[in-house]
Structure 1
Amino acid sequence: MGGRRPRTGHDWMLLAESCGALLERLPELVDQHLRQLAEHSPVYAQVLPHDQQWREAETAMRIGIETISAPRDSPRRDLEHAEQAGRRRALQGLPLELLVHAYRAAGYLVWDALMEGPVGREPERLAVLMRSATMVWSAVDAQTVAASEAYRSTERELRRRTDEQLQALLDALLEGQEAPGLAARAAAGLDLPEQGPYAVVVLRPERRDLREAVPRPVQSGGLRFIWRMRADCEIGVVALGADQDLDQVVRMLHGRCSGPGGVSPVVAGLGELGRARRLAELALRTCTPDMTEVVRLDQRMPTALVVSQPELAGRLVGDVFGALLELEPADRAVLLETLDVWLLCEGSAGRAAGRLYCHRNTVFNRLRRLEQLTSRSLARPRDLIEMTLALDAYRLSGGGTAG
């Protein structure tokens, strides 16, 4: 215990004598201190065996008492010891509030012993103690602060290491690694079931609305998400409840992130997150740059087939739209936009005309011209499939948007 020092050499001498007498009673004080701690909380005894707790308490109280009467320029052994104790207690898992209580309780115990002992009943020595009160309690405060700061620093480091371990476990799952016990360790660390319905969401990197810095489950819209940031995307693992489905995932993300994003099909456990991630990435690849939706792979399977085979997709565009691609860009864009809107309107020329702000006959004329240029008929199912897939491939290859 340090802080302010006695004002005169005579005060220091009397205080040193008082502290010397107190050190002779140290075993008794340590016993009393441990009894008080046990009455306050059973956690103290759960964290440390009694013998170890006694030895450490004896050392801390002895250093504290010796520091009260130490010369002004003496090293602050009490603060050094408090820092070491704070780090140890953080590693041992003692709650911080109990660490602080132990230091406060020891300070009260030492002060009361000084005041109530024989030296405390002598008027001259009592006056010295009263003049030293501010110094003693400032020292107790300094020790408590030193132990608390060391505790918090160690706790932050432990949390950082834990977070890094959880990140590594989650990354390994998302990469599809199959190390023995990997899913079980991740489930325990993330507080998630190893088996159960999961989905993976992949968003473009600028989407940060729902992300946390570390992989911990967070509630959002009734769903549990764990987010991981990558250089080229943001990945979310979604733990689904028994009554939750992918539609809820899409609805929750809509309006909270500006998209686009891809959602995988549901998988049966943490061990399948690697496959789910790849499927979610494929769903994201079906989104054109102008899209803002978060899309489900199981609702975009034809387009997913196109983007998963880029060489064949390029050949399809060239085969179906070869003559069309030779038109002027503005002319080509009008025809492709008309096809896109007509498909969105489920083949209704009237509804398409309303969305395109043109006459119904204009839609028919454009579609007939498109059929002539592609040598295909929108009335034949196979030709319609080819033109639809070619349109998706054209837009996703960066050829432009058609709507």
Structure 2
Amino acid sequence: MSGRRPRTGHDWKVLEEACVALLPRVPELVDEHLRQLFEHSPVYARVLPYDQQWREAEDAMRIGIETISAPRASPRRDLEYAEEAGRRRAQQGLPLDLVVHSYRNAGYLVWDSLLEGTVGQDPEKLAVLMRSATMVWSAVDAQAAAASDAYRATEMELRRRTDEQLQALLDALLEGQSAPGLASQVAAGLDLPERGPYAVVVLRAERRDGRAAFHRQIQRAGFRFVWRMRTDREVGVVALGAEEGLDELTAALDGRCPGPGGISPVVAGLSELGHARRLAELALRTCPPDATGIVRLDQRMPTALVVSQPELAGRLVSDVFGEVLALEPADRAVLLETLDAWLACEGSAGRAAGRLYCHRNTVFNRLRRLEQLTSRSLARPRDLMEMTLALDAYRLAPG
């Protein structure tokens, strides 16, 4: 079987003559090209004004015909123009499939016109042109590919910029800014309701391992989260559904959260995210350094009051536990650990003893000693409240 016959100098001359003869017909071809595009899809007509499309199509078609007649020219002007066109179309929002269709449609028009002109002049030249078909369509394919690659790259860059802008707007909401239209921009960009129940979750980001698995698990739990990373924490905006509240959110996070975290109360819309974020951070501050669970502010209000006023919290610790703090560290730790266990066991000395691995009488003895050192009685509600808050303040104090 014989191979494909190589193109000769005569072949190149015939192709060049056909292309030169076609150039005066370019305006006519552009008219037909745009007519067929608008008939194919009304989207073309919505992209930009007709006159501008006509000029761009004329430039592209003329450059393409000149390239076919001189395929060995370098650099390839047709590919450079196709790249520019691909970037423009991505910025204008024309779908990629319509961009490719435009190049195919122009290719068919040019090829048919080349054949018609050649056959009309000299039918014998038709065979010469047919041998050039592969080269002509390779040029069209290369132009479409160049436009597509540039389109995709531009689309990715535009998406990245849009994401960055949306994240910046969301950050502004989380920081409590209230510029007009800010909440509506975030709602439209992130496909979230502007009004509706929201909560904010703040996680301590000391341990970043396991975060990817955590996010996948939370996604499967059915909640819509939008996360923002900070230097030492991770902030999540949670869109709550009609049947979802803080109980369901806490249950979804419990056991999945890789570190301690705080949940804000429910707020009524995106414009209140700054307030919710501050309350979620306050809830997180009620977690001791070694905590691993997640807490709700509405269930930690007394402790939140303590940590929100560090100066007063320090005075409370000093006033209530002044004598206790003067003890040897080991002795002090035993007394405060006993009080913590007794409170956690809801005032049951027996249960506290089981937790501390000692006799219940030992618990009673330690508590009585603590009452003597603090001049307070655990049987009096006001004294009990002061000792409870002072213990929280001591455990959560920096350092």
**TM-score of the aligned structures, taking structure 2 as reference length:** 0.89
Task: For residues 304-340 of structure 1, give each alpha carbon's deviation from its aligned partner in whole angstroms, at most 9, with x where no partner exists.
Answer: 1111111111121122222222333333222222211
Alignment-derived partner of residue 204 in structure 2 = 204
Partner of 1:47: 47
TM-aligned CA distance change 1:181 to 1:73, over 3 Å: closer
TM-superposed deviation, 1:103: 1.4
- What's the offset of the Cα at 1:219? 5.5
Change (3 A) 1:239 1:99: same
Q: Does 1:296 align with 2:312?
A: no
Return the alpha-carbon distance in structure 2 between the equivalents of residues 24 and 211 of structure 1: 65
Q: Secondary structure at the match of 1:25?
A: helix
Which residues of 2 match residues 214-293 of structure 1 at below 5 A? Answer: 221-293=221-293
- 2:256 and 2:288 map into 1 onto residues whose CA distance is 19
Query: For residue 87 of structure 2, what is the aligned residue in structure 1?
Result: 87
Query: How many Å apart are 1:124 and its aligned residue?
Result: 5.0
1:278-324: per-residue Cα shift (whole Å, max 9, x none)?
A: 11111111111111111111110111111111111112112222222
Measured against aligned partners, the alpha-carbon deviations of 1:198-251 in whole angstroms (never above 9, x if no partner) come to 211111134544899xxxxx9552222221112232211112222211122222
Q: What is the letter of the counterpart of residue 32 of structure 2? A: Q
2:312 maps to which residue? 312
SS of aligned partner of 1:262: strand
- 1:268 partner amino acid: A
- State the alpha-carbon separation in 2 of the partners of residues 71 and 302 from structure 1: 80
In structure 2, the partner of 1:3 is none
Give me the whole-angstrom Cα distance separating, in 2, the residues matched to 1:210 and 1:226: 16
- C-alpha distance 211-120 of structure 1, shift in aligned 2 (>3 A): farther
Q: Runs of 5+ in structure 1 lacking a partner? A: 1-5, 213-217
TM-score calculated relative to the size of structure 1: 0.88
Q: Distance in 1 between matches of 2:119 and 2:219?
A: 62
Task: Give 1:126's aligned residue.
Answer: 126
User: Stretches of 4+ moved more than 6 A in 1?
Assistant: none
Identity over the aligned pairs, expressed in percent?
81
Counterpart of 1:8, as a letter, is T
Aligned 8 A contact 1:316 1:390 in 2: yes
SS at match of 2:257: coil
Matched residue type, 2:61: M
Greater CA deviation, 364-373 or 374-383?
364-373
Q: Which range moves more in the overlay, 129-138 or 9-18?
A: 129-138
Unaligned runs of 5+ in 2: 1-5
Aligned to 2:336: 336
Aligned residues: 389
Question: Shift of residue 134 of structure 1?
Answer: 3.0
Q: Which residue type is aligned with residue 238 of structure 1?
A: V
**Matched residues in 1 for 2:285 and 2:189: separation?**
32
Q: Secondary structure of 1:244's partner?
A: coil
Per-residue Cα deviation, 1:347-366 (whole angstroms, up to 9, x for no partner) = 11122222223222222222
Please give the secondary structure, in 2, of the residue aligned with 1:243.
Answer: coil
Counterpart-to-counterpart distance in 1, 2:383 and 2:296:
26
Distance in 2 (CA, whole Å) between partners of 1:156 and 1:169 is: 20
Rounded to whole Å, the distance in 1 between the matches of 2:70 and 2:267 is: 68
Contact 2:286 2:307 (C-alpha < 8 Å) held by counterparts = yes
Give a deviation string over 1:242-284, Cα, whole Å, max 9, x none.
2211122222222332121111111122222111111111111
| Deviations 1:110-135 (CA, angstroms, capped at 9, x unpaired) | 23333454348956533332332332
AA in 1 matched with 2:109: L
Query: Comparing 294-303 with 130-139, which one deviates more in the overlay?
Result: 130-139
Q: 1:193 is matched with which residue?
A: 193
2:152 matched residue in structure 1: 152
8 A Cα contact 2:67 2:73, kept in partner: no
Once residues 111 and 71 of structure 2 are traced to their aligned partners in structure 1, the CA distance between those partners, rounded to angstroms, is 19
- The corresponding residue for 1:138 is 138
In structure 1, how many angstroms separate the alpha carbons of the residues matched to 2:214 and 2:187? 20
Which whole-Å CA distance do the structure 2 matches of 1:65 and 1:259 have between them?
Answer: 64
How big is the shift at 1:373? Answer: 2.4
Q: Give 1:10 deviation, angstroms.
A: 1.9
Cα distance in 2 for partners of 1:256, 1:305 equals 28
Query: Is the 1:120–1:126 Cα contact (8 Å) retained in structure 2?
Result: no
Question: Aligned pair in 2 of structure 1 residues 279, 142: CA closer, same or farther (>3 Å)?
Answer: same
Distance 1:81 1:225 in 2: 43
Q: Which amino acid aligns with 1:50?
A: Y
- Which amino acid counterpart does residue 371 of structure 1 have in structure 2? E
Which position in structure 1 is the counterpart of 2:382? Answer: 382
Q: Would the aligned equivalents of 1:209 and 1:256 in 2 still touch at CA under 8 Å?
A: no
1: CA distance, partners of 2:194 / 2:73: 60
Q: Does the 8 Å CA contact 1:211/1:228 hold for their aligned counterparts? A: no
Distance 1:124 1:361 in 2: 116
Counterparts in 2 of 1:18-29, with a 5 A limit?
Answer: 18-29=18-29
> Residues 145 and 374 of structure 1: is their aligned pair in 2 closer, same or farther, counting only changes over 3 Å?
same
| Separation in structure 2 between the aligned mates of residue 299 and residue 305 of structure 1, nearest angstrom | 12
Contact 1:114 1:120 in 2 (8 A): no
Secondary structure of residue in 2 paired with 1:312 = helix
2:40 corresponds to 1:77 = no
Q: Which amino acid aligns with 1:76?
A: R
C-alpha distance in structure 2 between counterparts of 1:220 and 1:199, whole Å: 18
